[in-house]
Amino acid sequence: MCGNSMSVPLPAIVPAARKATAAVIFLHGLGDTGHGWAEAFAGIRTPHVKYICPHAPIKPVTLNMGMSMPSWFDIIGLQTDAEEDEAGIKQASENIKALIDQEVKNGIPSHRIVLGGFSQGGALSLYTALTTQQKLGGVVALSCWLPLRNSFPQASRNSANNEMHVLQCHGEADPLVPVMFGCLTVEKLKTLCNPSNIVFKTYPRMPHSACPEEMMDIKQFIEKQLPPI
């Protein structure tokens, strides 16, 4: 995917139960891998959809005292005014666009691809969708925020996804990425995309994680955006 791709293992994949005519590319959160989310999607799979859960490269994370861990980009802080790793975010986004291009070469049109992620991965999925010229089938943004938000709307002026459908979900008891981040993000998204295509769901008592109700909402969103053909 990028210059250090040799050190990044191949994505965890849940193959389609029949011929794949659509795909979901889902990005895990900080310090995680794609394996757990691949297992989660195996539990809600749609027969014609292939699920691709890539692994982030290992890199030092300022927020965690410089410790090295799987991370799409550096996180300096979690405050709304924290400095951001602009170069790292943009490079990671280019890597994800290359992954989308690879699926297009494999025969799945970009408009039949839903991009998504959790926490840091959700942030990257939003940024990528809003800055790519690849028309996507939708975005699933879980427990996350919009990175480099002050670069918009300029950053999205060439985007093919101003009409994209977004399912944004957040736990009301999230201590790491407070639900207020989700509220601020959805309000920003409504200025960049068609507001009627954006759905924001919150889940009482859910911390920085997923829950069965959320997973069913994701399943229904994917089935609606990527119907059988």
CA distance 174 to 170: 8
Active site residue 48: no
* Helix (H) or strand (E) segment spanning residue 157: none
Who's near 154: CB < 8 A, 6+ residues apart?
none
How many other β-carbons are positioned within 10 Å of the β-carbon of residue 118? Answer: 27
Beta carbons of 168 and 203 less than 8 angstroms apart: no
Q: Residues 123-162, buried b or exposed e (16+ Cβ, 10 A)? A: bbbbbbbbbbebbbbbbbbbbbbbbbbebbeebbeebebe
Tell how strand 58-61 and strand 113-118 pair up: unpaired
Active site residue 119: yes
**Which member of 119, 143, 156, 159 is catalytic?**
119
Active site residue 101: no
**Which member of 35, 55, 208, 217 is catalytic?**
208
How buried is 47 (Cβ within 10 angstroms: 0-12 exposed, 13-18 middle, 19+ buried)?
exposed
CA distance 139 to 216: 15
Write out the catalytic residue numbers.
119, 174, 208
